[in-house]
Amino acid sequence: MAKRGENIYKRKDGRWEARVIKGHNKQGKTLYAYFYGNSYKEVKDKIYMSLPSVNYESTAATGTNEETVRFEVVLDLWLNHKKVRLKESSYVKYFNLIHNHIKPSLGNYPLTGITGALLNAYIAEKHKSGKRNAAGGLSEKTIKDIITLIKSVLRYAKEEGLVSDFSLNLIFPRDKIKEMRVLTKDEQSTLEKYLCSDMDASKLGVLICLYTGLRVGEICALKWTDIALDEHTLTVRRTMQRVQTVDDSSLSKTKVLVTEPKSDCSTRVIPLPDCLTERLLMFRPVCPDAYVLTGKAARYLEPRTFQNHFKAYITGSGIKDANFHCTRHTFATRCVELGFEIKSLSEILGHANVNITLNRYVHPSFDMKRDNMNKLSLH
């Protein structure tokens, strides 16, 4: 199986093999290069060493230097340089940011033209409050991702001798704190009653998320082999997502990837409450390698399909509209209300530090604030 979403595989004879796209012929057929080694690292190093390097002396001799080389050329070099080091999903994200947003606006500028003043003007042009819209406005998150990418490209250009130095004083858009949807206790009770009546594997998946805080990609990739019912634990080992195909000759524009979780912290063991374990015992399949959401090893529910199921459950239970991620916010909020130790909660959620948990996922209710205020007493 490929490691971390890359096209690097361990063969039956114990050796590792990689297949990398090197171009296309006149008929448009994809051409591949193959690399072999005795370890994953050896193959990856061979791929990296095969990438085209930048020879600054030769480009300078032909008059292509930091004054004339276009930024789009450096963007392509950086993306090619990063490709073997990235998960496929991350590569697709950077590919789209470069080709959809950066190249159309900044690609024809020379390297020396990528200044703080230009980027600030670019930010002002692209930024509009809210989500991306028909007028071209981008969210604060997308703009920050773009600027972070551009800085990385410029650092790469400096390391390769393509630019002598750069200094950027950028004005980032101010983040707007969005009010996160959290189910009230009554709403959660209503939803749980709906899920438990005529429960199936998909409804069980929502219940699992309400009591563990799993992300949608994590629950979609969860298998029964990840659940130790005797030990009352659930282990998050992988995640699922649908990504765009950017380097493949396949007729399909997208594909489903099952990879390792988004970070080391996201790989975690979660203790299960007794009430959830009892429910899981009722659905344990004959095949331990089956996906939890389908009960079958050969069939899965991808995230978008599962999110549509969740929408149907919200409608069916008659509670106010909510997206799937609210199950994660609801879990975190219930834990805080019950007095969970924040460090433990942060690790259960798979966060790198407690600040992420406190700032993003803890939403104290007004009743909780009132209860805390009532703890004060006059002396």
pLDDT band, residue 249 (cuts 50/70/90) = low
pLDDT band, residue 365 (cuts 50/70/90) = low
The amino acid that residue 265 corresponds to is C
pLDDT in tens, 198-207: 899 999 999 9
Domains of the chain: 1-50 (no CATH), 65-176 (1.10.150.130), 185-373 (1.10.443.10)
Mean pLDDT for the stretch of residues 332-354: 89
Selected residue with higher pLDDT from 292 and 261: 292
Work out the burial of residue 70: count CB atoms within 10 Å of its CB; fewer than 13 is exposed, 13-18 middle, 19 or more buried: middle
Whole-number pLDDT of residue 85: 83
Q: Can you list the positions of beta strands (E) in 60-140? A: none
Whole-number pLDDT of residue 200: 95
pLDDT in tens, 310-319: 999 999 999 9
pLDDT band, residue 59 (cuts 50/70/90) = very low
Whole-number pLDDT of residue 26: 58
Mean pLDDT for the stretch of residues 86-91: 86
Percent above pLDDT 90 for the chain? 40
The amino acid that residue 52 corresponds to is P
Task: Please give the helix or strand (H or E) that residue 220 lies within, else none.
Answer: helix 216-221
pLDDT in tens, 16-35: 888 776 655 555 566 677 88
The residues that bridge with 37 in the sheet, in sequence order, are 16
Per-position DSSP letters for 21-60, written without gaps between them: EEEE-TT--EEEEEEEESSHHHHHHHHHHHSPPP-HHHHH
pLDDT band, residue 58 (cuts 50/70/90) = very low
The residues that bridge with 8 in the sheet, in sequence order, are 18
Percent above pLDDT 70 for the chain? 80
DSSP 222: -
Of 4-13, 156-165, 314-323, 352-361, which range is least confident?
4-13
Selected residue with higher pLDDT from 188 and 357: 188
Chain position carrying tokens 């399949």: 285
Task: Measure the CA–CA gap between 181 and 276, rounded to whole angstroms.
Answer: 23
